[in-house]
Structure 1
């Protein structure tokens, strides 16, 4: 009999406890780590290709790096500043045009200079509106760090609010490296904030928190609603992948779970060896590692053809002797064997290289340096701090009442345990990210702000944290449009002549039209005047311990399990 949702929440609290954001010793991401909500990288044209302004002036290459003196702590300006990196061009700029600002969010911003160009929606806005484009590196990523390490003490200044305040302080105080670059603050020129995924959510959260600062915003695949138990990450994948592949994956996962919970040591060992993981100790690590094949979906795009990692995986399961399986699949016996063969002969090397399985996919060995390495430019550690404190987004099994393409052995405490392992001085117990505070402060799904354009994709695994979530019924309006294309994750950020799917091109055209309308009505105001001593902001929301959850337990279920 299916458990009631409330009892299912108790199962989550008491269930098996593994993946944390980190890196293997050779620098590759750990193979059992949740996928962050990242923006796709877009390369700018070669530095050998001259960049010229509209009046013919030769401009610096797109990848020229600039530095801004950003406040270390917006609540305590006396602590001084750090060097925050940014990239900039005024290729399309004409006096009076907008400034388009974006950040790739949770990663080193090197390689994102393509977002200065019309290879992206940012550049299309600039081209249409005679604007200038900027890419800024998020604090605590890449080389933009208030301190020289990623210790817990340093990361106390790594919060959503500090990042929002960074954007405000930059916009109001930067002297852009272009003619008149000291006179284009938000009080004199319209600024457009653009982001995708986490940085798309940051766009929404910033416009809520700093009303009137930005003239307009464009938020692609914006995960505006913080959710602890984000099992719905896998729902668009399950629903949109080929039916035969979906059916067989569900069957295999069910067989794996039944075997691992059976207590039959011989059958358990045989199943582990089927995937080439016979030497691994923890069964939740073994079963959880199979999520890697599903995470590959996030890298797909509507223009991708045969040969991508995900399509190769489904073909390995569903094509037998040149014949594709019917919608129901080939059945569990064939699928278990085929998936195992694919892992042993092809996929393991892609994920783990020459590392042994325990180092690559195991999450219980605290001697590995990805638990303790506090060196800067470790995006995984920086992102996991935000995950553990403010947003959650744990990508685990569906509730027992729903079909699941992810093992039931992987529940939220599997990930929350790793918050404690990576940040033991911050978390004496596995923490519960305070998503309730995040959603109240930045409005989550309840956002209502003028001149904010949301663009989403039907096949985006992050869709159910966006304003296009299946569980919501958020209406598009003229002042806050919601446009949905037949895309994946942040597909609409990229513009590839002749290759963009027609539905995504329609989203982009609608956004361009909205920007034209909104900017035509923009008028200067004092709201964007430079500030040297920013206003105080509330302290970081208090971390909730699991011990608090029992008082009242219903409040826990509302934030933990209702999504």
Structure 2
């Protein structure tokens, strides 16, 4: 039996998780899955036969309460193979998942580190991976899980690195990050401009909202960019969705259970129905977010070609795509299964997102990908709205409030941050770009932005391959030009 990935596609992401594999959050991992499409540069890995190692740093549990003397062990990695003692320090900010060793060897910024003789450092995000902050993940123990504490972790770690490696006062610190960690990268410069000199923020949803209905709208816009295919693909998805919703309204559950191989079967429970409808949309949401065109992976082009396959009605094609993602197994779309998966309070170093990220969305970020937007802007129906999303926070944590996104915006500035030397990078086909900073001119000397045509989530962070969109390499050259200019200021 295939259990449904708990379904909200959030930060992130990347969303976007340093180098995490696709996983469970409130649903699809909305954050970053950089392993897909990552292709390490073989030359980078040959230098000095270098292999990074995990190391451990003693970190305060609460940076803002001196009376709390509790500490925990936090993982970090350092790649000093290019460091000449005089170059800058490149800090990769991690997000909502385990920090892989390839975090400091296999991304585009590592090539730039070699160019600038930079020291590469990376600290695992508290509570994620093996950086267990508390004995378990009980709700009371999660109060130290928020972006303010995570940024303070990086500030303390930065100062320790400064001393341990005798970093010169003239050496500048550059942060990198993608998806949730992209937002953290920008916030690191905004909150600690005395410690961080410049920041590259890729696909960062810096403007948290509770009702993120725009996610589905960007999915539709990305599909519509497919030449000679997009319009028909959207029409067929809309047709299939309407047929399914009609069957649900007619309580024809037996047909749907058979067609989509559901276990346990739908029986009219409204929460199960909402979970099923979000699961249907979720396949398309995940593909749109990453749009991986590597051989053997799924892209919007692949599944839209299936969706418009001649000789079949759209619902038949829609079922074929569902079965592709289900790998021939029956699928559990019960709401209770999803909620129970979030009730596990055991620390687990392999979990990406999970209960921890769900807590962050319920308290700080929202990011709920609802179906509440205008029906002409997305083809996935209207049966997984905001009340269904918010109910999950109440059922898991007992919260009777919506996420305090207003405080997060107040703390970091949202779409109107105050700061300098942050480059915001977004892909035009990335659903998370709807919450990113894309309005500043590329010539803005303080907070420039770069909007890359034809790219998806965090693609600018990856080492290009033969199928990388043609717009990525010029965009990476532009990013590098900003780094060069800022380092030489």
What's the counterpart of residue 461 of structure 1? 431
How much has 1:106 moved relative to structure 2? Answer: 0.6
Distance 1:302 1:73 in 2: 39
What's the counterpart of residue 483 of structure 1? 450
What's the counterpart of residue 513 of structure 1? 481
The correspondence of residues 303-314 of structure 1 with structure 2, limited to 5 A, is: 303-304=293-294, 308=298, 310-314=300-304
How much has 1:348 moved relative to structure 2? Answer: 2.0
Distance 1:133 1:276 in 2: 48
Matched residue SS, 1:68: strand
Seen in structure 2, the aligned counterparts of structure 1 residues 380 and 492 have a Cα distance that, compared at 3 Å, is same
The correspondence of residues 56-135 of structure 1 with structure 2, limited to 5 A, is: 59=50, 61-62=51-52, 64-77=53-66, 78-110=68-100, 113-117=101-105, 119-135=106-122
* RMSD (CA atoms): 3.0
1:234 corresponds to 2:201: no
Residue-by-residue CA offset, 1:318-347 (whole Å, 9 max, x unaligned): 1226xxxxxxxx8xxx11122124434x33
Residue-by-residue CA offset, 1:390-428 (whole Å, 9 max, x unaligned): 01110111424643222311012212111122223xx2x
* Mean Cα deviation higher: 371-380 or 188-197: 371-380
The correspondence of residues 176-191 of structure 1 with structure 2, limited to 5 A, is: 181-184=164-167, 187=169, 189-191=171-173
What's the counterpart of residue 280 of structure 1? 266
CA contact (8 A) 2:132 2:347 kept: no
- Under a length normalisation based on structure 1, what TM-score does the superposition of the two structures give? 0.74
User: Tell me, which stretches of 5 or more residues in structure 1 are unaligned?
Assistant: 1-17, 53-57, 322-329, 522-563
CA contact (8 A) 1:228 1:433 kept: yes
Seen in structure 2, the aligned counterparts of structure 1 residues 48 and 124 have a Cα distance that, compared at 3 Å, is closer
Distance 1:192 1:457 in 2: 21
Of residues 141, 149, 168, the one that matches 1:154 is 141
1:141 corresponds to 2:124: no
Distance 2:338 2:356 in 1: 18
Whose radius of gyration is greater, 1 or 2? 1
What's the counterpart of residue 493 of structure 1? 461
What's the counterpart of residue 541 of structure 1? none
User: Tell me, which stretches of 5 or more residues in structure 2 are unaligned?
Assistant: 1-5, 11-20, 224-229
* Mean Cα deviation higher: 395-404 or 193-202: 395-404
Distance 1:365 1:301 in 2: 28
Matched residue SS, 1:319: coil
Residue-by-residue CA offset, 1:456-479 (whole Å, 9 max, x unaligned): 1111111101012xxxx4333133
How much has 1:97 moved relative to structure 2? Answer: 0.7
Aligned residues: 456
* Mean Cα deviation higher: 99-108 or 124-133: 124-133
Seen in structure 2, the aligned counterparts of structure 1 residues 221 and 366 have a Cα distance that, compared at 3 Å, is closer
Distance 2:8 2:434 in 1: 22
What's the counterpart of residue 337 of structure 1? 316
CA contact (8 A) 1:190 1:214 kept: yes
How much has 1:441 moved relative to structure 2? Answer: 1.1
